[in-house]
Amino acid sequence: MANVRTMDDLRREEAGRGVRPTPNPWAGGAAPAQGAPAPNFTPAGGYTPIPDQQSMGGVGAGDVYIDACGETIPVSSLSPWQLPMAMCCPCCIGDPCSENRRNWYVNQMKTFIGIISIIQIFIFIIEVSLSGWVGILDVPSDVLYVMGGKVASNIAAGEYWRLITPIMLHAGIFHLVINVFTQCMFGIQLEREWGGSQIAIIYVVAGVYGNVLSVLFAPYALSIGCSGSVFGLFGAQVAYIVGMWRQLGDLQKKMLLLSLGLSFLFIFAFSFGVGVDMSAHLGGFLAGLVMGMGFFANKWDPNNWWAKAGPYVAFGTVAATMLIAVIFFWHNKELGYVEGS
Radius of gyration of the chain (CA): 22
Residues annotated as catalytic (active site), given as ranges = 227, 281
Name the strand (E) or helix (H) holding 64: strand 64-68
Q: Report yes or no: 337 and 159 within 8 Å, Cβ to Cβ.
A: no
Q: Give the CA dihedral 53, 59, 64, 68, nearest 10 degrees.
A: 30
Q: In what order do the strands lie in the sheet with 71-74?
A: 40-43, 64-68, 71-74
83 exposure class (CB count in 10 Å sphere: 0-12, 13-18, 19+): middle
| Three-point CA angle 210, 215, 220, nearest 5° | 130
- Listed in sequence order, the DSSP H helices in 27-172 are 82-88, 99-108, 112-131, 141-146, 152-156
CB 295 within 8 A of CB 120: no
For residue 320, the tally of other CB atoms under 10 A from its CB is 10
As beta bridge partners, residue 71 has 68
Q: How many CA atoms lie within 13 A of 240 on its CB side?
A: 23
- At 221 the three-state DSSP class reads coil
